Amino acid sequence: MTNQPMSDDAEPRRPAARRRLVRSGHDGRPVPRPPRTPAGVVTVPVVGEIDSVTGGELEAVISRELANRPPVLVVDLSLVGFVGSTALSLLCRARETCRRQGTELALQGTAREDVLSQLRITGLERLAVGEV
């Protein structure tokens, strides 16, 4: 295999397009569309910080997924760097919507003590799966 320079008019190769779902955090890293499992579990992965700048977008994604009335909605906080009052408020609203419509809400990626301590403030740590 030879290593030839790219001509000026050739476009660089790009990775396969990924639909952005949540651009959480100031780093703007895209997160792929939530995967759906055969059992109907929907996972919303979140990257970065959940704050007043990014919280609205995350809440819109969660609302859109809940409109489909999945049996289970998992919010994956594994790559979240900051959980503050905005995150707690929107997760509490999601919990209430899930309760009303019969969707089970679960939180994943809550093993870090800084995340878990914030969730304890509102009792959201009871929604943690697999780590607590």
90-120 pLDDT, tens digit each? 999 999 999 999 999 999 999 889 889 999 9
Average pLDDT across the chain, whole number: 78
CA 110 centroid distance within chain: 12
Binned at pLDDT 50, 70 and 90, residue 2 comes out as very low
pLDDT surpasses 80 at 63: yes
* Residues 36-49, mean pLDDT to the nearest whole number: 81
**Domain around 75:** 41-127
Residue 33 included in any domain: no
In a domain, residue 107? The reply is: yes
In a domain, 11, yes or no: no
Q: What percent of the chain has pLDDT over 90?
A: 50
User: What gap in Å lies between CA 119 and CA 128, rounded to an integer?
Assistant: 9
Whether 8 is covered by a domain: the verdict is no
Residue 111 falls within a domain, yes or no?
Answer: yes
Q: Of 67, 69, 46, 66, which is closest to residue 58 (Cα–Cα)?
A: 46
- The answer to whether residue 21 scores a pLDDT higher than 50 is no
Report the distance separating Cα 56 and Cα 11, nearest Å: 35
**Spatial separation of the C-alpha atoms in residues 128 and 106, rounded to whole Å:** 6
Please report the pLDDT score of residue 22 as a whole number. Answer: 47
Looking at the domain assignment, is residue 36 inside a domain?
Answer: no
CATH number at residue 97: 3.30.750.24
- Is 7 part of any domain? no
Q: What is the pLDDT of residue 12?
A: 43
pLDDT of residue 30: 46
- Which pLDDT value is given to residue 89? 95
Residue 9 included in any domain: no
Q: How many domains does the chain have?
A: 1
Which residues are CB-contacts of 118 (< 8 A; sequence separation ≥ 6)?
Answer: 83, 84, 87, 88
pLDDT of 132 above 60: no
Split at pLDDT 50, 70, 90, the class of 35 is low
> What is the C-alpha separation between 44 and 87, in angstroms, rounded?
14
User: Residue 82's pLDDT is what?
Assistant: 85
